[in-house]
């Protein structure tokens, strides 16, 4: 395991793996390896014949996984929307732990957080794609406003975008996290107690740069094909935008669908059985404040073929 100064506590560790209802000989998918907390616990519950496939875009996560020599384990340097390429009905369970890991947030060099000054990057996969600093160089006020409003649910999206544009014209390209946080703080004069003014803006830009919501939607759709009948889908979300997508997806596929254009046709059968949601216990939140916003939703694949 890699050793660094940025520790990570896996949220809802036992609850998530318990929800998978591990069959020792089954094949499981950890769609967001992170630092491997869930993966290691899953492996501990598998027999010699069970297997686990993990996905992650972060090169640091891939390096962490490289230290795992278990022959039952395989890691793929891909986003979890690539689940679509897996064999149909091949997985007995699929776990998605969304959001950003503590090492990503705490390492200022990654550019995810306003707490430490670092380059304005925010890419989960630093080997490809455009950094936030690069995008902000010539993004229009309208584009910035839409991103901040849609992905950050920020009511001051317009003024923030205009302030960023003004700063670009006066000082040149915005390259550092503290620089962006300062621009937002000077613009947003009111905020919830205990919450930094830049929180929503940083969240919005991170989600946008990594296409997080689009990838989540694609991965959820792919899960219907990958999971075998009776297989469990377990998803941990950390903000309302993610949780809304997961909740609506499970609800949509947990009921029969009628085609209004063909009123006498048989309805499409439900594909998922919703098994409810779980929140972290008070003791976990007290020990790990980042767990307080977590919501875990559980569903089971029905026996209907895709």
Residues 92 and 237 in one domain: yes
Say if residue 7's pLDDT is above 80.
no
Same domain, 204 and 216: no
Last residue in a domain, options 159, 188, 209: 209
For residue 214, pLDDT beyond 80: yes
Residue-level pLDDT at 4: 43
pLDDT for residue 71 is more than 60: yes
Q: Where would I find the H helices in 114-239? A: 132-138, 141-152, 157-171, 177-187, 199-209, 212-226
In a domain, residue 37? The reply is: yes
- 160 and 194 in a single domain? The answer is yes
Where in the sequence is the domain holding 136, given as residue range(s)? Answer: 126-209
User: Is 110 a domain residue?
Assistant: no
pLDDT band at 262 (very low <50, low <70, confident <90, very high): low
116: in domain: no
The domain that holds 77 is classified in CATH as 3.40.50.150
End position of a domain, from candidates 144, 177, 209: 209
Helix (H) or strand (E) holding 227, with range, is: strand 227-237
pLDDT for 266 equals: 54
Q: Are residues 217 and 296 in the same domain?
A: yes
Q: Which residue has the higher pLDDT, 167 or 107?
A: 167
Give 105 or 126, the one with higher predicted confidence.
Answer: 126
Model confidence at 284: pLDDT above 90: yes
121 part of a folded domain: no
- Indicate whether 265 belongs to any domain: yes
Query: Stretch 184-208: mean pLDDT, rounded?
Result: 89
Q: Are residues 183 and 238 in the same domain?
A: no
Query: 159 with 221, same domain?
Result: no
Which of 160, 176, 209 terminates a domain? The answer is 209
Looking at the structure, tell me whether residues 87 and 147 fall in a common domain.
Answer: no
**Which residues have CB under 8 Å from 284's CB, separation 6+?**
11, 12, 291
pLDDT of residue 258: 54
> Which pLDDT score, from 0 to 100, does residue 255 have?
83
User: Does a structural domain hold residue 115?
Assistant: no
Q: Is residue 17 part of a domain?
A: yes
Phi, psi for 256 (deg, rounded to 5)? -70, 140
**Beta strands 51-55; 295-301: pairing state:** unpaired
Starting at the edge strand found earlier in the chain, the sheet holding 73-76 runs 73-76, 51-55, 27-30, 91-97, 227-237, 295-301, 272-278
Query: What CATH code is carried by the domain that includes residue 177?
Result: 1.10.150.170
Please state, for a pLDDT cut of 90, what percent of the chain lies above it: 80
Write out the two tokens for 195: 């919450």
Residue 73's pLDDT is: 98
Is the pLDDT score of 158 beyond 90?
yes
Query: Are 80 and 225 contained in the same domain?
Result: yes
What's the pLDDT at 161?
Answer: 98
Q: What is the pTM for the complete model shown?
A: 0.90
Residue 136 included in any domain = yes
| Whether residue 197 is found in the same domain as residue 225 | no
The total domain count for the chain is 2
């Amino acid at each position: 395991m890699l050793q660094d100064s940025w520790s990570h506590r896996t949220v809802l560790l036992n609850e998530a793996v318990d929800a998978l209802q591990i069959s020792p000989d089954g094949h499981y998918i950890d769609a967001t390896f992170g630092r491997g907390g869930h993966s290691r616990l899953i492996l501990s519950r598998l027999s010699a014949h069970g297997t686990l496939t993990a996905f992650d875009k972060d090169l640091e996560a891939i390096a962490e996984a490289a230290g795992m020599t278990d022959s039952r384990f395989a890691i793929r340097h891909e986003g979890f929307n690539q689940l679509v390429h897996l064999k149909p009905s091949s997985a007995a369970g699929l776990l998605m732990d969304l959001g950003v890991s503590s090492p990503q947030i705490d390492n200022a060099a990654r550019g995810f957080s306003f707490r430490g000054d670092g380059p304005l990057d925010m890419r989960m996969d630093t080997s490809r794609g455009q950094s936030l600093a690069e995008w902000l160089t010539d993004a229009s006020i309208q584009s910035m406003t839409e991103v901040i409003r849609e992905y950050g649910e920020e009511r001051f999206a317009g003024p923030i975008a205009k302030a960023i544009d003004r700063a670009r014209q006066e000082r040149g390209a915005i390259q550092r996290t503290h620089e962006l946080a300062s621009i937002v703080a000077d613009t947003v004069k009111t905020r919830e107690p205990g919450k930094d003014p830049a929180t929503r803006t940083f969240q919005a830009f991170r989600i946008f740069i990594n296409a997080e919501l689009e990838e989540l939607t694609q991965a959820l759709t792919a899960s219907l094909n990958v999971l075998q009948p009776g297989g469990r889908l377990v998803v941990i979300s950390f903000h309302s935008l993610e949780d809304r997508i997961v909740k609506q997806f499970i609800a949509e596929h947990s009921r029969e669908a009628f085609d209004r254009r063909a009123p006498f046709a048989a309805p499409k059968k439900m594909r998922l059985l919703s098994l409810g949601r779980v929140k972290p216990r008070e003791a976990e939140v007290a020990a790990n404040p980042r767990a307080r916003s977590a919501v875990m939703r559980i569903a089971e694949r029905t026996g209907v073929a895709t």
